[in-house]
C-alpha cells in the first residue's frame, strides 16, 4: 500500500514540477499585490534606484567618448593658436571627478536596490508562508486523507521560495531591458549608420536564443522531474527504515536509488552542456558585432567634418560588449520567471481550496458542557457512494463510560471523528447533539476545547515534557500539569528522566518508549479537565505493564466525565457502563458486558474469538 501511495505521490509531484507556466500570469500578479502592498515604499525606492543605476551603467562609454573626443575637438579648433595646456588638464580633471561620482552613484544605487528588494522578498515570503500555514491548518482531515504531505511541503517551502525571487527578478529584468534600450539609443545617437550595421547580428542572436530556450526549458523540466523522483525515493526509504532494515534490503534499495540518482545527474550534465553552449555562442556574436563596428567604423573615423572621431568608435566597442549581457541575462531569467509564475499558480490554487469544516455564519459559543451526547440517525461517508455509518442512533448520558466495539471497518473511529468534528456531517445526514445542542450550530473551537482525545499512536512534539503536557493549554500552571501526570501514572517515570519535566523530547518523542509517550499523551488530554474524553484504542499499542498503570489511572481519569472508549482490551470494556456493538456501520447491540454475553450475539462472538484469548494471557 505504501509503495502504491509513494508512486502516486511521486507521479503527481512530477507533473507539478514539469509545469513551468507563462512568464506573465495576471491572476498570480493580482493575488500577489496584497502581500507586496505593505512594502510599496521599498518597491518604489528600488525602482528609482534601479533607474539611476541603469543610467550610470549606460553613461560610462559615453563619458569615455566625451573624454577622448572633446580634447580632439578643442585641439582642432585651437590648431595654430596658442592655448594654455591647463585648460586640457582641467577638462581631464573634471572627467576624472565625474567618473568617480558616477562609480559611487552606481555602487550606492545598486546596494540600495538589492537591499530594498531583499526586504520586500523576505517580507512577502514571511507573509505568504504564514498565510499558507494558517490556511492548511483550517482544512479538515478529509483534505489530508487526499493530499500527500510531501506535496504540501513542496508548496510551503519550494514554491514559496521560488516565488520569493519574483520581485527581484522583475526589477532585474526591467533593469536589463532599460539598459538594452539605453544602449540602443546611445548607439543610434552617436552614429545611426554604424549603429544599424552593428545590430545586424540581432536576427542571428534571436534565433540562437529561441532555439536555446526551447531545449533548455525541456532540460530544466527534466531536472525538476528527476529530483522529485530522487526525493520521493529518499523519503520513502527513510520513512520505512524499520521495514528496510528488518528485511535487510539496504543493498537493493541503494542500487535502485543509484539508478534514479544517476538519471538526475545526467539530466544536470545535459543542462550544463546547454548552459555552456550558450555563452560561447553569445561571445561569438559579440565578437562579430565588434568586428563589424571596427571594420566599418575604421572607415568612418577621421578628423574631417562629418567623419567619426576616435572616441565614438571606442564607445561603440564598449556598448556592443555591454549590449549582449542584458540579452543573455534576460534569456536566463526567462526560465526563472516561468518557474515563479508556475509556483505562484500552485500556491494560490492551494489557498483557494476551501475548508470543508467551517463554522456557520451565526455560530454561537458552546456553553459549559455537562456531557450528554446523542447521535440521531447519523450517516457518514469518506468517499461518495460508500457510506461508513448507516443511520447511527446512540445516547450517552453525562458521566457515563461507553465502550464502542466491533470488527475492523465497522465504523468505530468514524463515530469519534465526526463527534470531534474532524469531518463534516451534512444537514441531511442526521444530527450529533451535545447537551441537546447540534454541534454544527456552535463554533468548533468552543466544542473541542471542552473535549479531549487520546489516540492509538501517541504523537509528541519537539520540546520538553512539560511543554508537551501543556501543548494546547500553555497558560496551565506547572502544578496542574504535574497533577495530571500523577493522575495517569506518568509522574514517576518523568522524574527518573535526566531533567525531569524539563527533559527535551525529540520529534515524535522518539527518545522515550512507546508506553511512556502514551502516558504523557494521557496527561496532555486531561490537563484542562475536559468534560468529554475520547480514547481511540489508546491502549492497543502498549505493553501489559503500562496498560495496567493506565487502567488503574483510568478509574480516576474517567470519574465524573463522559467517556467514549474504543478498545480491544477486555479490562477497559468490562468496566464500561454501556457497550455499543457496531457492524458494517450500524449499531447491532447495546448493553453491559453480562447482558451482551447472555444475548450470545456478535459481542459474545467477538469476545470468544478475541477477548477471551487476550484475557487469558
pLDDT value of position 154? 64
With 90 as the cut, is the pLDDT of residue 208 above it? no
Band the pLDDT of 77: cuts 50, 70, 90: low
Query: Across residues 154-163, what is the average pLDDT?
Result: 69
With 90 as the cut, is the pLDDT of residue 107 above it? yes
Query: Across residues 513-534, what is the average pLDDT?
Result: 86
For residue 154, the tally of other CB atoms under 10 A from its CB is 19
* 132 falls within a domain: yes
Q: Which of 351, 369, 387 corresponds to the end of one domain? A: 351
Q: Structural domain of residue 479, as residue ranges?
A: 456-529
* 440 falls within a domain: yes
Q: For residue range 546-600, list pLDDT tens digits in order.
A: 667 677 777 777 777 888 888 766 556 777 888 999 988 888 989 888 888 888 8
Least confident of 91-100, 320-329, 424-433: 320-329
Same domain, 524 and 537: no
* 547 falls within a domain: no
For residue 94, the tally of other CB atoms under 10 A from its CB is 12
| φ and ψ at residue 79, rounded to 5 degrees | -60, 125
pLDDT value of position 104? 94
With 80 as the cut, is the pLDDT of residue 478 above it? yes
Spatial CA neighbour of 507 closest among 462, 457, 458, 459: 462
**Count: domains in the chain:** 3
Same domain, 322 and 376: no
Q: Which region holds residue 379: left if phi is over 0, alpha if psi is between -120 and 50, else beta? A: beta
Same domain, 88 and 159: yes
Same domain, 222 and 335: yes
* 548 falls within a domain: no
Q: Which of 351, 383, 415 corresponds to the end of one domain? A: 351
* 537 falls within a domain: yes
Same domain, 281 and 429: no
The CATH number of whichever domain residue 524 belongs to comes to 3.40.50.300
Same domain, 170 and 278: yes
With 80 as the cut, is the pLDDT of residue 304 above it? no
* 291 falls within a domain: yes
Distance CA 522, CA 454 (A): 6
Band the pLDDT of 133: cuts 50, 70, 90: confident
Same domain, 31 and 162: yes
Same domain, 422 and 342: no
* 554 falls within a domain: no
Do the Cβ atoms of 215 and 93 come closer than 8 Å?
no
The CATH number of whichever domain residue 249 belongs to comes to 1.20.1560.10
Band the pLDDT of 449: cuts 50, 70, 90: confident
Least confident of 200-204, 218-222, 541-545: 541-545
Same domain, 343 and 472: no
Same domain, 148 and 176: yes
pLDDT, mean over the chain: 79
Same domain, 237 and 278: yes
Share of the chain above pLDDT 70, in %: 82
Same domain, 106 and 147: yes
Do the Cβ atoms of 269 and 242 come closer than 8 Å?
no
More confident position, 384 or 396: 396
* 147 falls within a domain: yes
Q: Which of 471, 505, 529 corresponds to the end of one domain? A: 529
pLDDT value of position 617? 45
Query: Across residues 296-305, what is the average pLDDT?
Result: 71
Order of strands across the sheet that contains 562-566: 451-454, 532-536, 562-566, 401-405, 578-583, 586-591
Helical axes 478-487 vs 514-526, angle rounded to 10°: 120
With 70 as the cut, is the pLDDT of residue 266 above it? yes
More confident position, 549 or 351: 351
pTM: 0.65
Amino acid at each position: 500500500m505504501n509503495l502504491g501511495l509513494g508512486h502516486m505521490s511521486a507521479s503527481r509531484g512530477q507533473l507539478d514540477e514539469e509545469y513551468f507556466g507563462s512568464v506573465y500570469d495576471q491572476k498570480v500578479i493580482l493575488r500577489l499585490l496584497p502581500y507586496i502592498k505593505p512594502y510599496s515604499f521599498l518597491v518604489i525606492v528600488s525602482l528609482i534606484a534601479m533607474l539611476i543605476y541603469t543610467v550610470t551603467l549606460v553613461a560610462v562609454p559615453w563619458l569615455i567618448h566625451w573624454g577622448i573626443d572633446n580634447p580632439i575637438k578643442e585641439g582642432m579648433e585651437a590648431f595654430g593658436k596658442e592655448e594654455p595646456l591647463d585648460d586640457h588638464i582641467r577638462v581631464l580633471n573634471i572627467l576624472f571627478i565625474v567618473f568617480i561620482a558616477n562609480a559611487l552613484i552606481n555602487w550606492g544605487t545598486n546596494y540600495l536596490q538589492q537591499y530594498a528588494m531583499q526586504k520586500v522578498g523576505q517580507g512577502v515570503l514571511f507573509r505568504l508562508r504564514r498565510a499558507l500555514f494558517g490556511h492548511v491548518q483550517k482544512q479538515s482531515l478529509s483534505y489530508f486523507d487526499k493530499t500527500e504531505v510531501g506535496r504540501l511541503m513542496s508548496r510551503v517551502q519550494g514554491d514559496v521560495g521560488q516565488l520569493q525571487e519574483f520581485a527581484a527578478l522583475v526589477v532585474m529584468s526591467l533593469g536589463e531591458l532599460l539598459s538594452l534600450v539605453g544602449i540602443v539609443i546611445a548607439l543610434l545617437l552617436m552614429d545611426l549608420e554604424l549603429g544599424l550595421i552593428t545590430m545586424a547580428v540581432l536576427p542571428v542572436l534571436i534565433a540562437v536564443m529561441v532555439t536555446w530556450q526551447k531545449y533548455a526549458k525541456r532540460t530544466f523540466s527534466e531536472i525538476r522531474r528527476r529530483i522529485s523522483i530522487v526525493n520521493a525515493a529518499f523519503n520513502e526509504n527513510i520513512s520505512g527504515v524499520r521495514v528496510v532494515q528488518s528485511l535487510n534490503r539496504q543493498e537493493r534499495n541503494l542500487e535502485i536509488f543509484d539508478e534514479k540518482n544517476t538519471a538526475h545527474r545526467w539530466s544536470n550534465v545535459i543542462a550544463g552542456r546547454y548552459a555552456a553552449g550558450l555563452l560561447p555562442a553569445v561571445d561569438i556574436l559579440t565578437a562579430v558585432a565588434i568586428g563589424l563596428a571596427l571594420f566599418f567604423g575604421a572607415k568612418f573615423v577621421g578628423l574631417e567634418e562629418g567623419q567619426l572621431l576616435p572616441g565614438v568608435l571606442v564607445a561603440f566597442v564598449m556598448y556592443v560588449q555591454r549590449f549582449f549581457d542584458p540579452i543573455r541575462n534576460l534569456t536566463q531569467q526567462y526560465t526563472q520567471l516561468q518557474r515563479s509564475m508556475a509556483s505562484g499558480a500552485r500556491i494560490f490554487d492551494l489557498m483557494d481550496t476551501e475548508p470543508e469544516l467551517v463554522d456557520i455564519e451565526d455560530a454561537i459559543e458552546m456553553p459549559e458542557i455537562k456531557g450528554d451526547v446523542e447521535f440521531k440517525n447519523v450517516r457518514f461517508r469518506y468517499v461518495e457512494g460508500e457510506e461508513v455509518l448507516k443511520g447511527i442512533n446512540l445516547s450517552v448520558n453525562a458521566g457515563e463510560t461507553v465502550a464502542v466495539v466491533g470488527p475492523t471497518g465497522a465504523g468505530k473511529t468514524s463515530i469519534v471523528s465526526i463527534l470531534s468534528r474532524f469531518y463534516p456531517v451534512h444537514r441531511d445526514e442526521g444530527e450529533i447533539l451535545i447537551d441537546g445542542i447540534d454541534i454544527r450550530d456552535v463554533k468548533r473551537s468552543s466544542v473541542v476545547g471542552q473535549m479531549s482525545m487520546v489516540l492509538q499512536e501517541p504523537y509528541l512534539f519537539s520540546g520538553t515534557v512539560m511543554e508537551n503536557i501543556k501543548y494546547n493549554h500553555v497558560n496551565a500552571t506547572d502544578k496542574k500539569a504535574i497533577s495530571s501526570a500523577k493522575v495517569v501514572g506518568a509522574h514517576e517515570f518523568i522524574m527518573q528522566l535526566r531533567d525531569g519535566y524539563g527533559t527535551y523530547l525529540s520529534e515524535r518523542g522518539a527518545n522515550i518508549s512507546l508506553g511512556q509517550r502514551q502516558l504523557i499523551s494521557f496527561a496532555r488530554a486531561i490537563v484542562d479537565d475536559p468534560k468529554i474524553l475520547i480514547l481511540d484504542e489508546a491502549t492497543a499499542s502498549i505493553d501489559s505493564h503500562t496498560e495496567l498503570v493506565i487502567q488503574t489511572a483510568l478509574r480516576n481519569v474517567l470519574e465524573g466525565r463522559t467517556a467514549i472508549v474504543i478498545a480491544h482490551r477486555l479490562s477497559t470494556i468490562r468496566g464500561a457502563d454501556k457497550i455499543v456493538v457496531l457492524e458494517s456501520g450500524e449499531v447491532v447491540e447495546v448493553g453491559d458486558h453480562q447482558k451482551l454475553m447472555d444475548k450470545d450475539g456478535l459481542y459474545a462472538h467477538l469476545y470468544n474469538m478475541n477477548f477471551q484469548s487476550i484475557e487469558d494471557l
